[in-house]
Structure formats: structure tokens, C-alpha cells
Structure 1
Amino acid sequence: MVYVVLLGMIAGFLALRLYTVLGRRTGHEQPMPRPAEERALPIVLPRATETPAEPRDAAIRLMEGGAEIGLRAIGAADSSFDVTQFLLGAKSAYKIILEAFWSADVEDLAALTSDEVSEAFVAAIEARSEAGHVLDNRLVSIERALITHAALVGREARITVRFDADIAAVTRDAEGNVIAGSLTDAVVTHDLWTFAKQVRGGDANWKLVETDEA
């Protein structure tokens, strides 16, 4: 259940909205600002013009074999879609959305996720608030991001990404005392996040529509 997954995550700060960071080749993408203490190791979405072309074998390493047919269908329906660029954006989105949840930024979560996922995030935020818990965390690293599934259903493109990440997590009480976790020992997480967008008409922005544990 997404609710269970969300309850296991812990606190940060949201800098920007997700909107069009995934899978677009406009030539105008800009690095995404992050808190000052994290800028030494930024996760950014590079300009498409600065991203070298991926040889076919390297591109395949970005996905599992079963995803290729779906990605080709999405690319045929949306000429702006690029697999490598999408995955870079997905990694940025993973961090941005987690930090929005950790900082209880309900308004931004609603803008970045589907109604169902947003409701699950809000329920988890309300539960921890009622318990008097404050979340404190840091995304140490994303060890791997791999596209596991892709499909074009009607006008909707759906892509599932597996994230293997290390998160330093702490839960504090209302007085700031640590009641669980550690900022020095990272927890290994394996998440499956599905992003969706309309390729023709409707909302052209990618949104998080489903989360699960890998």
C-alpha cells in the first residue's frame, strides 16, 4: 500500500515544482536549485543540447527489456519524448516529491501528483502530525534508476521507474528528541514509481500516479 510506503519516509525541503522536468527536449532546461547544503552534489536536469547521444546498448541499460516496446509507442506519439532525458527528470522528481512529503508541503504535492497519490500523502502527513512526530531526513544518493515498464494506453503514457536509494532518516517528537532512525546510517530503499501524462491534449505534464515497494 502507498500509505504504508509513505509512512516509512522522513523530512526535507521542496525547492521547485515538478511540472515539465520529465521527458521533454525543449533546449531550455535549467538545473534545479536545491538547499545550499546539498548543492555540492546536485541532481539536475541538463540541457538536452548538452546531453551526448546514447549508443543503443547504453540506452538499453536504462530500462528492462519489456519496457522498450512501450517506450517506442510513447516516442511515436510524442516527438518531444526522450528516454535518457525522462530518466534524468524522473530522478529529480523522486527527490522533489519526497522532500515535499517530508516537509508536509500539501499544496505542492497536489500539483505534482495525481489525486489518489496526493490523498495518500496527505493521510500520512496527518497521521504523523496527530502522533506528534516530526520527520527529518536526507536523500543520500540514488544508486540506480531503471525503467521497468512503459505503455501507451489511449492518449495516456505511463512509465514505471525503479529507484534504489539510500535515505538517512530520523523521527523526532514535538520537543525535537530522536525517537527513531539515524542520520548517520542510511536506509536502503527500493521503490517503484509510475509517472503518467497525456501525449495529445489534456495535461501535458508528467505526474506521479502510483507508488509501491520494489
Structure 2
Amino acid sequence: MRLCRGARKAWRSAVLDIYTIIFLALAVFIFVRLRSVLGQRTGRERPPYDPYSRDTARPPQPASDKVVPLPERPVSPPAASPVDEAPPAYRWEGVAQEGSATAAALDEIARIEPDFDARHFLTGARAAYEMIVTAFAAGDRRALKDLLAKDVYDGFVSAIADRESRRETMESRFVAVEQAELQDVTVRDRSAQLTVRFVSKLISVTRGPDGAVVDGSPDTVADVTDVWTFARDLGTRDPNWKLVATEAAQ
């Protein structure tokens, strides 16, 4: 049996209304379920992290056994205000006796070169003493040439050449330089000579071509006293003192 056109239209409208109601009911059901799961607060929610807020702490990170906490940086105490130190009563104190000929010669050097410091000179003389003894043992002619006056250099080189002709080797090692004491000072025609007495402990050994010991000992520390004289022309641009004389003290 065929439905008339009006009946078919009414039937389609009824069908659409039923589907609309079903979809609406389904949407309401889904909304209610989602709200029951996501829309409630338990009181334990973590507030959002704001990296630009000073009042919001960074969320805690899980601890790791590979991280070692650094100690807090100690607070440095405030620097003490500088205290003016009183100048020494005597310029050459600890170097030369007041009123002595040595002190007078040092005064003459300081008159020509106001920046002269006797203590600084003794520090440099100590260093030069160690360098020269070590360079002589090693046969280092280049190092010796800048530290020795020509006649002293020639004597050192001659001794090195004699040792080499015998195919001997020398080893010298300082244990300590215990004393570097100013013993004499002379100034003549703007040329100064300062004599220093060195007291040191030294291990020195000379070996033959076969390695056998021919002088000294590799295991014995010897007490050595040397008296060396250094010289330079005052008032010149060359600040270097050179060794001009050596002697072994008795």
C-alpha cells in the first residue's frame, strides 16, 4: 500500500525528532560523566609554576644519588682597613751593621741608584748561585755566559772541557741554601762589587765513562760554603749583576 505524500513527510519528521532526542540525551550523559571525573577538586592539586614569580618556588625535582650537595659559600669577613707600617729605623737593618764601612758603601749605591734594595739583591744572588752551580754541573755554557764575567766564564768553560775530555759527567742537586749573607761592599768609579757568603747543603757526584763514582757521592749531603763576588756598573740600563770572583771558604 502506498503512503500519500503528506503521510510520508510526517513519518520522516517523527524519525528526525527521535534521533535528535537520542543525541541530546547522549551529549548530556557524556557531559555529566566528564564533570564527575575532571570537574572536582581534591585539595591536593599542584599550583601552576610561574618562572617569573619570586613567590612561587620551582617544583621539587626527584632526588638522585649522583648529585652531591655543594656546601654553602662561606661569607668572607670584611677586609681589614690598611694600617700604615712604620718605616724601619735603619735602612740596611739585617743586611749591614749601622755605621760600618759596608753600610756606607750601600748608601753610596743608593745615592746613585735610589731604587737599590740590598735585600732584593741578596734574593737574586741566591737564585744566581743555584743556577750557576747547576749549569756548571750540566755543562750548560749558554746559561753560564749571561751570568759570568768573561774571565770567570773562561775558567768555568775550561773546567767543563777538561771533564768532557775524560768523558766524565757531573750531577749537582741543592738540598737547601741556608744562608746568603752580605760580607763586603765596595764602590769605585761608579762600579760596585758585592761579596756574598753562601752556606748550602748540596749533593754532588762525578761519574766516569763506565758510570763509576770518581768524586763525591750520590747519597751524601755535603755542607758547602762559597764566597762569591758580583759586580755591575751603576747608573746604566743593564740591571744584571755578573759573577766576577769565586772562592771556597775554609
Relative to the length of structure 2, the TM-score reads 0.60
Q: For 1:54 and 1:96, how far apart are their aligned partners in 2? A: 33
C-alpha change, 1:81 and 1:181, in structure 2 (3 Å) is same
* Other-structure match for 1:129: 164
Report matched runs for 1:52-201 at 5 Å: 55=88, 59-63=92-96, 65-201=100-236
Letter of the structure 2 residue corresponding to residue 98 of structure 1 = V
C-alpha change, 1:58 and 1:163, in structure 2 (3 Å) is farther
Q: For 1:87 and 1:58, how far apart are their aligned partners in 2? A: 15
How much identity, in percent, do the aligned residues show? 33
Q: For 1:155 and 1:81, how far apart are their aligned partners in 2? A: 14
Deviations 1:155-185 (A, max 9, x none): 2111000001111111111232223322321
C-alpha change, 1:166 and 1:55, in structure 2 (3 Å) is farther
Residue 56 (structure 1) shift: 5.3
C-alpha change, 1:174 and 1:162, in structure 2 (3 Å) is same
Paired residues of 1:112 and 1:207 also in contact (CA < 8 A) = yes
Classify the secondary structure of the residue corresponding to 2:187.
strand
Paired residues of 1:66 and 1:148 also in contact (CA < 8 A) = no
Deviations 1:35-73 (A, max 9, x none): xxxxxxxxxxxxxxxxx9984579543346542111111
Which of 1 and 2 has greater Rg? 2
Classify the secondary structure of the residue corresponding to 1:184.
coil
Q: For 1:122 and 1:78, how far apart are their aligned partners in 2? A: 33
Return 5+ residue gaps in structure 2 as ranges.
Answer: 1-84
Paired residues of 2:92 and 2:103 also in contact (CA < 8 A) = no
C-alpha change, 1:57 and 1:113, in structure 2 (3 Å) is same
Structure 1, 112-121 or 68-77: larger mean CA deviation: 68-77
Return 5+ residue gaps in structure 1 as ranges.
Answer: 1-51
Letter of the structure 2 residue corresponding to residue 120 of structure 1 = G
Q: For 1:189 and 1:58, how far apart are their aligned partners in 2? A: 30
Letter of the structure 2 residue corresponding to residue 165 of structure 1 = S
Q: For 2:237 and 2:132, how far apart are their aligned partners in 1? A: 22
Q: For 1:68 and 1:57, how far apart are their aligned partners in 2? A: 10
Structure 1, 84-93 or 184-193: larger mean CA deviation: 184-193
Residue 147 (structure 1) shift: 0.4
Residue 97 (structure 1) shift: 1.1
Larger RCO, structure (CA 8 Å, separation 6 or more) = 1
RMSD of aligned Cα (Å): 2.2
Letter of the structure 1 residue corresponding to residue 94 of structure 2 = R
